[in-house]
């Protein structure tokens, strides 16, 4: 049985598309059953619908508090019988309550080699720091922003004369490979969150 998975987006949804593409192979261990956006009419929703995936818009502005918004997202996920949640360019900070409730089943992709360069303007941060290598990270989501245990990373060289946009594009190519690989690993039990750490199980031991 494939693991029922939802993707939360706020915009373009290119990582969402890479997850949907990977999961369109019936041998992939996760099945994408729902895409939720907190913003109406974004590009990602159009792509998800075109791929035949159920979509739902839950506009955060319609809720009186973060907790009320998170409760609505949680209800939609439960209604769709979701087990794993992937954040993919989801631009809302989730409450501690939500992160705790979904602990070990909630993952995010971030366009830097964490723990370097958390938050926003990530590529500007990398260029300002002068690092020669940046990259992307898939991690378990914990209450603290961009701080959860790391599941997978890919390194990308910073080139001379890079702009934030050029570096972002080079990293995004790797994101599109890394996120499906990380979701596969989680869905087939190759990684678990235990006592605040990512614990890896080699395939032969499962």
Query: Which C-beta is closer to ligand GRF: that of 16 or that of 30?
Result: 16
**Residues within the interface to ligand GRF (CB under 6 A):** 11-16, 88-89, 109-111, 172, 175
For residue 203, the 8-state DSSP code is G
d(CA 181, CA 194): 20
* Comparison of 76 and 168: residue with beta carbon closer to ligand GRF: 168
Instruction: Between 43 and 71, name the residue whose CB sits nearer to ligand GRF.
Output: 43
Closer by beta carbon to ligand GRF, 50 or else 199: 50
Secondary-structure breakdown of the chain: helix, strand, coil percentages, each rounded to the nearest 5: 35, 25, 40
CA angle 68, 41, 172 (to 5 degrees): 95
Alpha-helical (H) ranges within 5-129 are 14-23, 43-50, 66-79, 96-101, 122-129
Is the separation of the CB atoms in 88 and 179 below 8 Å?
yes
Residues designated as active site: 110
Measured from the CB of residue 64, what is the shortest distance to ligand GRF in angstroms? 26
91 CB-near residues (< 8 Å, 6+ apart): 10, 11, 38, 39
State the minimum distance, in angstroms, from the CB of residue 154 to ligand GRF: 11
Q: Cβ of residue 205: shortest distance to ligand GRF, in angstroms?
A: 31
The alpha carbon dihedral of 11, 103, 172, 132 has a sign of positive
Nearest distance from C-beta of residue 49 to ligand GRF, angstroms: 16
Residue (16 or 72) nearer to ligand GRF, CB: 16
Per-residue H/E/C for 68-102: HHHHHHHHHHHHCCCCEEEECCCCCCCCHHHHHHC
Taking CB atoms, the residue at the shortest distance from ligand GRF is: 89
CB of 93 to ligand GRF, least distance (A): 12
């Amino acid at each position: 049985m494939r693991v029922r998975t939802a993707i939360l987006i706020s915009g373009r949804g290119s990582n969402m598309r890479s997850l949907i593409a990977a999961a369109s192979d019936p041998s992939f261990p996760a099945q994408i059953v729902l895409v939720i956006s907190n913003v109406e009419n974004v590009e990602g929703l159009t792509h998800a619908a075109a791929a035949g995936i159920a979509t739902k818009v839950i506009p955060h502005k319609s809720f009186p508090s973060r907790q009320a918004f998170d409760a609505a997202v949680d209800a939609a996920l439960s209604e769709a019988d979701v087990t794993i949640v992937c954040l993919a360019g989801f631009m809302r900070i989730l409450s501690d309550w939500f992160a705790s409730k979904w602990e070990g089943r909630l993952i995010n992709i971030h366009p830097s080699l964490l723990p370097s360069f958390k938050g926003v303007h990530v590529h500007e941060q990398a260029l300002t720091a002068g690092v020669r290598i940046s990259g992307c990270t898939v991690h378990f989501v914990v209450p603290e922003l961009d701080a959860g245990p790391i599941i997978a990373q890919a390194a990308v060289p910073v080139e001379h004369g890079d702009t934030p946009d050029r570096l972002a594009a080079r990293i995004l190519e790797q994101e599109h490979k890394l996120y499906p690989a990380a979701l596969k690993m989680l869905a087939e039990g190759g990684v678990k969150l235990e006592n605040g750490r990512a614990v890896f199980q080699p395939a032969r031991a499962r």
